[in-house]
Amino acid sequence: MHKPGVTAKLFGLVMATIALVSCEKDQDTTGTTATDQDEILSAGPGTVFNDGPNAFGFQIDGLEGDDELRFFVGNSFFNQNWVQAPSSTTARDGLGPLFNSRACSGCHFKDGRGRPPGSPDEKGTGLLYRITKAARKVNGQQTGDLHYGGQLQDRAIGGVNAEGSMNISYQTITGQFKDGTPYTLHQPQYQISDLSYGPLEGDIQISPRVANQVIGLGFLEAISEQQLLSWSDPDDLDGDGISGRPNYVWSEVQQQRTVGRFGWKANQPDVLQQTAAAFNGDMGITTWVYPNENCAQGQQACADAPNGGSPEIEDEDLDKVVLYVRSLAVPARRNLDKPEVKAGKLLFNQIGCNHCHIPKMVTDQHPEMKAFSNKTIRPYTDLLLHDMGPGLADGIEDYEASGSEWRTPPLWGIGLFSVVNDHTRYLHDGRAHNLMEAVLWHDGEAKAAKEKVLELSAAERDQLIQFLQSL
Spell out the per-residue pLDDT of the chain, length 471, in tens.
444 444 444 444 444 444 333 333 343 444 445 667 789 999 999 999 999 999 999 999 999 899 999 999 999 999 999 999 999 988 899 999 999 999 999 999 999 999 999 887 888 899 999 999 876 778 888 889 999 999 999 999 999 999 999 999 999 999 999 999 999 999 999 999 999 999 999 888 999 999 999 999 999 999 999 999 999 999 999 999 999 999 999 999 999 999 999 999 999 999 999 999 999 999 999 999 999 999 999 999 999 999 999 999 999 999 999 999 999 999 999 999 999 999 999 999 999 999 999 999 999 999 899 999 999 999 999 999 999 999 999 999 999 999 999 999 999 999 999 999 999 999 999 999 999 999 999 999 999 999 999 999 999 999 999 999 999
Q: Positive or negative CA dihedral for 206, 211, 215, 221?
A: positive
**What local confidence, expressed as pLDDT, does residue 285 receive?**
98
Backbone φ, ψ for residue 196 (5° rounding): -95, -15
Of 185, 241, 177, 151, whose CA–CA distance to 391 is shortest? 185
Distance set, CA 437 to CA 5, 185, 466 (Å): 38, 6, 14
Length of the chain: 471
Count of CB atoms situated within 10 Å of the CB of 174 = 8
Axis-axis angle for helices 315-326, 67-79 (nearest 10): 100
Round to whole Å and give the CA distance between 307 and 312: 7
Round to whole Å and give the CA distance between 162 and 101: 12
**What local confidence, expressed as pLDDT, does residue 330 receive?**
98
Count of CB atoms situated within 10 Å of the CB of 39 = 22
DSSP 25: P
Of 124, 130, 73, 120, whose CA–CA distance to 103 is shortest? 124
Do the Cβ atoms of 400 and 140 come closer than 8 Å? yes
- Work out whether strand 47-48 and strand 330-331 pair parallel, antiparallel, or are unpaired: parallel
Round to whole Å and give the CA distance between 379 and 358: 7
**What local confidence, expressed as pLDDT, does residue 135 receive?**
65
Count of CB atoms situated within 10 Å of the CB of 210 = 21
DSSP 249: E
Do the Cβ atoms of 70 and 240 come closer than 8 Å? no
Element at 80 (helix H, strand E): none
Q: Please work out, in degrees rounded to the nearest 5, the angle formed at the alpha carbon of residue 139 by the alpha carbons of 136 and 143.
A: 35
**What local confidence, expressed as pLDDT, does residue 20 receive?**
34
- Cis, peptide link before residue 120, omega less than 30° from 0: no
Do the Cβ atoms of 347 and 465 come closer than 8 Å? no
**What local confidence, expressed as pLDDT, does residue 37 receive?**
72
Do the Cβ atoms of 197 and 299 come closer than 8 Å? yes
Round to whole Å and give the CA distance between 46 and 329: 5
pTM: 0.92
Do the Cβ atoms of 401 and 35 come closer than 8 Å? no
Element at 72 (helix H, strand E): helix 67-79
**Burial tier of 200 (Cβ tally within 10 Å: 0-12, 13-18, 19+):** buried
Of 87, 81, 95, 77, whose CA–CA distance to 294 is shortest? 95
- Cis, peptide link before residue 97, omega less than 30° from 0: yes
Of 64, 65, 78, whose CA–CA distance to 2 is shortest? 78
Q: Is 6 helix (H, G, I), strand (E, B) or coil?
A: helix
pLDDT in tens, 391-424: 999 999 999 999 999 999 999 999 999 999 999 9
**What local confidence, expressed as pLDDT, does residue 23 receive?**
35
Of 425, 231, 242, 432, whose CA–CA distance to 351 is shortest? 242
Count of CB atoms situated within 10 Å of the CB of 338 = 14
Round to whole Å and give the CA distance between 228 and 226: 5
User: CA-CA-CA-CA torsion for 249, 250, 252, 256, nearest 10 degrees?
Assistant: 120
In a 13 Å sphere around the CA of 25, the CA atoms on its Cβ side amount to: 5
Round to whole Å and give the CA distance between 79 and 107: 10
Backbone φ, ψ for residue 64 (5° rounding): -110, 160
**Given phi > 0 = left and psi -120 to 50 = alpha, else beta, which region is 317?**
alpha
Rg (CA), the chain: 22
Count of CB atoms situated within 10 Å of the CB of 286 = 22
